[in-house]
Amino acid sequence: MNHSRNKPDAATTGRNDVTDTLGRPLQDLRISLLDRCNLRCPYCMPAAKYHKDYQFLSRDQRLSHDEILRVAGAAVSLGVTKLRLTGGEPLLDKNVVGLVERLAELPGVDDLALTTNGILLAPLAASLARAGLQRITISLDSLDEDVFRVMSGERGSIDKVVQGIAAAQDAGLTPVKINVVVQRGVNEHTVLDLLDYFRGRGPIVRLIEFMDVGNRNAWSLDQVVPSKEILRRIQSRWPVRAVGRNYPGEVARRYQYLDGQGEIGFISSITEPFCGSCSRARLSADGTLYTCLFATSGTNLRGLLRDGSNDGAIVAALREIWSDRRDRYSELREPVEKPLVNKVEMYRMGG
């Protein structure tokens, strides 16, 4: 089923696009379905903090799918064309396929994607594609078993992730993107092997500088491997050339192998900030809207969704939040290892 056909385009859906104080449009909405995950990656949900007795959000504290649809619809009316489901781990939501189908029917949504760790993907990939999912991004930090074990918090399986990638390709969720968070002294020595494995197989590997998201990941500047450093290593083994962006606001800098074996990307928030073109808002599982990945606070919409307010009130709230936005944390980041206190953790708002 192709949900992208026969939908009204932006010109016929009554859009009333909005921009922030720096002239940036609202084009992307990332929706965190739940704050739970089946891995314990140290840079996101370290096991020492998120143990078996940790109190995650209850079902009543999380937005229902109906409430998510209302916010997504309001965002689309203000110019959003891209929706991405995140977590936590979104595939832990047993009804995620149904939500995808409903989101795919929203007029004006041109791009519907999902980010997952891939552990649960293989049996769901075909159903997600039939429901209208168009693209998928899979987090995989290393193909080395020992490194993967450390970076997943002793959970998960490389084999299941690789099977999930293959299933996504078979289902037509292509090109599959693979996100690799690179940490000095942790997995940087396995990057070329991972690239070698996926060269010529279709997925686009994107190498992400270790970022100071939240407060739990013990971030320090000396753990960041600058993208330019990795690019030099890649160039010495496989010549690549830079290519242009696929769309305005794309955060990854793209390169293609000269031998035609595919594409790689770099997301360089630390050394080459891209705040000036950021068009993303993030909706957490508890209904809080954040306008920056490095936010210390957001605006909770759950009360508005549950107090009888109509959809127009939600649109007005989103318009006000975005119109007042002035975030550019990465451009203002001080070159010292003094992280902002009380930053919201990544697993709450989605990456």
Q: Is residue 3, in this structure, part of any structural domain at all?
A: no
Q: Which pTM does this prediction carry?
A: 0.89
Based on the structure, what is the number of domains in the chain?
1
Q: Is residue 176, in this structure, part of any structural domain at all?
A: yes
Q: Is residue 62, in this structure, part of any structural domain at all?
A: yes
What pLDDT sits at residue 39?
92
Q: Is residue 4, in this structure, part of any structural domain at all?
A: no
Smallest CA-to-CA distance from 1 within 131, 175, 170, 135 is with: 131
Segments in the chain forming alpha helices (H):
65-77, 96-104, 125-131, 145-151, 158-170, 191-198, 227-237, 302-306, 311-323, 329-332, 346-349
Q: Is residue 88, in this structure, part of any structural domain at all?
A: yes
Q: Is residue 15, in this structure, part of any structural domain at all?
A: yes
Segment (H or E) for 182: strand 177-182
Q: Are 136 and 100 in contact (CB under 8 A)?
A: no
The per-residue pLDDT for range 33-73, each reduced to its tens digit, is: 999 999 998 878 888 888 889 999 999 999 999 999 999 99
Q: Is residue 1, in this structure, part of any structural domain at all?
A: no
Q: Using CA atoms, how far apart are residues 108 and 113, in angstroms rounded to an integer? A: 14
Intervals of the chain under pLDDT 70: 1-15, 212-219, 248-249, 329, 331, 333-341, 343-351
Residue 152 C-alpha from the chain's centroid: 17
Q: Is residue 5, in this structure, part of any structural domain at all?
A: no
Helix (H, G, I), strand (E, B) or coil at 228: helix
What pLDDT sits at residue 15?
64
What pLDDT sits at residue 248?
67
Domain, as residue range, for 143: 10-349
CATH code, 221: 3.20.20.70
Phi, psi of 149 (to 5 degrees): -60, -45
The per-residue pLDDT for range 284-296, each reduced to its tens digit, is: 999 999 998 877 8
Which of 286-311 are b and which e, b meaning 16 or more Cβ less than 10 Å from the residue's Cβ? bbbbbbbbbbeebeebbebbeeeeee
